[in-house]
Structure 1
Amino acid sequence: MIDTTVNVINKLGLHARASGKLIEVTSRYRSSIQLGKGKELIDAKNIMSLLMLGAGKGTQLRLVIEGSDEEKACEAIQALFNAKFYEAE
């Protein structure tokens, strides 16, 4: 199990377009992937749950991944966050 954090650093936060890109990444993996603030975690493969997080720029999110491909999933998710969801600034 991986239990780490990711920081929302893109200008608009985890809005609809960014959430859609995150879903594209998380849905590629079999592992259970959860995101949240503190102990409140949501399914990172569910777009409505992601949008309800209300994670704006500067938010630190907890990322919990468990499964056979957890390391690859973690790397891909962290890369997406670090690339600011490939949005123009």
Structure 2
Amino acid sequence: MVDIVEKDLTIQNEKGLHARAAATFVKTLEDIDAEVFVSRTGQTVQGESIMGLMMLAASKGSVIHIKAKGNEAQKAIDVLTVLINSKFGEE
């Protein structure tokens, strides 16, 4: 059985999910065995796509929905929670 884990998170860094933050998001998932999808305002993109993440236009205070599917789905959610709550290490 494949694990599916979902969580809503609020973008906290000043610049939102811009290019550098999106690249960090993607890099964080590199070695994790899970497929990740990110949604905002009805639009869903793959968590491994920098351009897709930027297209969400998630500014500070935006709530994004993350869905992870795979053997390490919980790990994906956990590391992304830390990343987003730490403001992508920007502040």
Are residue 32 (structure 1) and residue 35 (structure 2) matched? yes
% identity of equivalent residues = 26
Counterpart pick for 1:60 among 63, 76, 84: 63
- Give the deviation of 1:10 after TM superposition: 0.4
TM-score (norm 2): 0.91
How many residues were matched structurally?
A: 88
Q: After the TM superposition, which segments of 4 or more aligned residues of structure 1 sit over 6 Å from their partners?
A: none
More divergent stretch after superposition (26-35 vs 55-64): 26-35
Structure 1 unaligned runs (5+)? none
- Give the deviation of 1:40 after TM superposition: 2.6
- C-alpha contact (below 8 Å) 1:11/1:57 kept by paired residues: yes
Counterpart pick for 2:21 among 18, 21, 43: 18
Give the secondary-structure state (helix, strand or coil) at the position aligned to 2:13: coil
Structure 2 unaligned runs (5+)? none
Counterpart pick for 1:2 among 2, 5, 12: 5
Query: RMSD across aligned C-alpha pairs, in angstroms?
Result: 1.1
Are residue 70 (structure 1) and residue 73 (structure 2) matched? yes
TM-score (norm 1): 0.92
